[in-house]
């Protein structure tokens, strides 16, 4: 083969290589446009008792998997049970008093008060007659001054007892005042609220898991006196599992909300998880330090959140992952 043909072949090979390199670069650029890097973001819950008390039992330890509603720890419930019983007794007493006020006084009580008034009026009539007689006899020496004063005192006492009996009869016949009934209603309402609060406190003696997850930390031991709100456990929630990633402005069109993506971790690159872009931040920000590269230190990016639908124990908090659009 002549040198001329060798040169032609070499030029053809170079051209073919250039075309192949061009298409390779385009494919690599397209791959970069549909690939993101982020970190697994699993939410955590700090669990605490809502009421203070002495810790009677701790039923889970770090690393245990728990289910929604599972009891994690118990307080000594005896003081709370006593408080509930006291609240119930107070409610019963106030309820009886309130029923009496709404029904009014019994007819028998009114009749007794009327009989006492009649007896008091008879006593007034008798003592008044005695006083008038002593008052008539005293000027002619038929009665002493001392006897007259005694008769007057007895009459005055009878008058006072009659007035008291009359007022008592009027009060019983009229019934309770509206203000008294309103006060009784309010006191009963407060007592019922105290019962509800005591029942809730007794229920809160059991600390329950709000969701499925893994116990990350345990900060209490049996016998410890705990205060309301003191952290007892840290729970890593199983659902939802998110991936937080950042997308450049040129890639925004490739990752709108609702886009389906695959998620792969560095530890198991062959195992793919599936997720959906659930949130795209409307505000640009500088690339966070944990994901920035040497050529993107000052680049503006947009934060996105991907909800992983089939997450399992292979995705852990903070784990770096690779996101790719589903084809």
Q: Please, which contacts does 314-317 make with residues 24 or more away whose CB atoms are closer than 8 Å?
A: 314/265, 314/267, 314/268, 314/271, 315/40, 315/42, 315/241, 315/263, 315/265, 315/273, 316/40, 316/42, 317/40, 317/41, 317/42, 317/44, 317/236
Topology, domain 36-42+239-325 = Elongation Factor Tu (Ef-tu); domain 3 (2.40.30)
d(CA 15, CA 19): 6
**Domains in the chain: boundaries:** 36-42+239-325, 45-76+204-235, 85-199
Instruction: Give a three-class secondary structure readout of 99-114.
Output: HHHHHCCCHHHHHHHH
**Assign residue 318 a region: left if phi > 0, alpha if psi is -120 to 50, beta otherwise?**
left
Q: Taking a C-beta distance cutoff of 8 angstroms, is the pair 304, 288 a contact? A: no
> Would you call the peptide bond into 240 cis, given omega within 30 degrees of 0 as the criterion?
yes
Q: What is the DSSP letter of 47?
A: E
Q: Which CATH class for the 45-76+204-235 domain?
A: mainly beta
List per-residue pLDDT tens for the chain, 327 residues long: 566 666 655 666 665 555 444 434 443 443 445 788 888 888 889 999 999 999 999 999 998 999 999 999 999 999 999 999 999 999 999 999 888 887 766 666 656 777 787 788 788 788 888 777 777 766 666 667 777 777 788 888 888 888 888 777 676 656 667 787 888 999 999 999 999 999 999 999 999 999 988 999 999 999 999 999 999 999 988 778 888 888 887 777 788 888 888 888 888 878 889 889 888 888 777 666 555 454 555 567 888 888 888 888 778 888 888 888 887
pTM here is 0.60
**Tens-place pLDDT, residues 39-68:** 888 888 999 999 999 999 999 999 899 999
Tens of pLDDT along 140-172?
Answer: 666 677 777 777 888 888 888 888 887 776 766
Cα(276)–Cα(112) distance, integer angstroms: 83
């Amino acid at each position: 083969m002549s040198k001329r043909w060798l040169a032609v072949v070499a030029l053809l090979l170079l051209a073919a290589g250039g075309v192949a390199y061009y298409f390779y670069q385009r494919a690599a650029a397209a791959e970069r446009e549909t690939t993101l890097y982020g970190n697994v973001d699993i939410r955590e819950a700090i669990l605490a008792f809502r009421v203070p008390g002495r810790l009677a039992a701790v039923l889970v330890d770090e690393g245990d998997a728990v289910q929604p509603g599972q009891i994690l720890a118990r307080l000594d419930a005896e003081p709370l049970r006593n408080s509930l019983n006291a609240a119930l007794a107070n409610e019963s007493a106030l309820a009886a008093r309130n029923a009496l006020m709404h029904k009014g006084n019994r007819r028998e009580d009114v009749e007794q008060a009327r009989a006492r008034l009649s007896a008091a009026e008879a006593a007034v009539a008798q003592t008044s007659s005695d006083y008038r007689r002593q008052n008539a006899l005293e000027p002619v020496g038929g009665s002493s001054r001392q006897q007259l004063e005694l008769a007057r005192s007895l009459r005055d006492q009878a008058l006072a007892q009659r007035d008291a009996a009359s007022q008592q009869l009027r009060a019983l016949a009229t019934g309770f005042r509206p203000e008294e009934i309103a006060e009784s209603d309010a006191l009963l309402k407060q007592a019922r609220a105290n019962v509800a609060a005591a029942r809730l406190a007794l229920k809160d003696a059991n600390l329950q898991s709000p969701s499925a997850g893994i116990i990350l930390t345990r900060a209490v031991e049996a016998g410890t006196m705990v205060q309301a709100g003191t952290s007892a456990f840290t729970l890593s929630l199983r659902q939802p599992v998110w991936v937080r990633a950042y997308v450049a402005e040129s890639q925004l069109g490739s990752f709108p909300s609702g886009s389906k993506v695959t998620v792969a971790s560095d530890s198991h690159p062959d195992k793919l998880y599936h997720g959906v872009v659930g949130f795209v931040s409307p505000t640009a920000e500088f690339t966070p330090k944990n994901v920035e590269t040497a050529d993107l230190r000052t680049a503006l990016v947009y934060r996105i959140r991907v909800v992983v639908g089939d997450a399992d124990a292979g995705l852990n908090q903070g784990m770096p992952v690779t996101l790719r659009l589903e084809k």
